[in-house]
Amino acid sequence: MTAPARTRDDRAELTDLITAGAAQLATAWSILHTSQRTLLSRLAQIQGGRAAGAAQQVRTALVTFNAAVAEFDRRARAFVERWAAQDLPVAYRDGAVRALERAEADRSLFTWTATHQAAITGLTAPFWGDLIRRITEAVRRAQTFARAAQDAARSTLGVQTERLLEEHPLDTVIYANQARHPVHSWAGAALSWQGVVAANAGAINTARDELGSEWMECIDGPECGFTSHPDTDHANGTLRSIDEASMYPLAHHGCIRQWVPRPDLNGRSDIADGDPA
């Protein structure tokens, strides 16, 4: 068998899948920010809750906002259900088929065996949970904002729009370190990580099960380390055992790593992890 062709990145379909998914998730999230601004605009017109009928107007505005939050929750959860049930398996299969092609093997060797089904289920369960937790947190933050906006509408100071937007940025995702990330950039990074991990898992598992490959060739950025980006053990163009590849399908968020099966190297005793391909 000849050595497989080295292709930097031919995963256009996977990229399109991730890009479309991130756009849909960001669109669902935009409901929160749009309804937030609408609520603040309406409350600012009620003159701090002192005008006649102001209390009822505030309640009506809040009902509308809460309905928008519920719509966001419904749309975002529906996307995550589809992403986990349909899109991630597509990414996994795409990685598996491309691995077979790169090894010059028949792409029909991939089928959804019990092993592959178990593998994708093991991936999608935590990935689904990660996204659902973000959605749940966004709903909680929206509810906290609604209470703050209601209090502001009833206060003598009135609604201070910019302060409320700064304190309750519903167009961002807030990480554990309190860093704020725009929703569209977070969605792209989160879905890219999940999609590429799924594709690489498909490639590695297929190399092991369908090809019996003992070694994988790593294609990566020239400066990327194997276990993390700053790792001095650079990954690109190296050979890794199938087990080590399974441990580090990617090194970090945004990683472009791909795996090429090398069954042509089976039985070689003169290869070590990290040797050049």
Pick the closest to residue 246 from 190, 206, 274 (CA basis).
206
Residue 157 φ then ψ, to 5°: -75, -25
179's CB contacts (< 8 A; 6+ apart) are: none
pLDDT at site 52: 64
Does the pTM exceed 0.75? Answer: yes
- Residues 163-174 pLDDT 10s: 999 999 999 999
- Residues 58-115 pLDDT 10s: 999 999 999 999 999 999 999 999 999 999 999 999 999 999 999 999 999 999 999 9
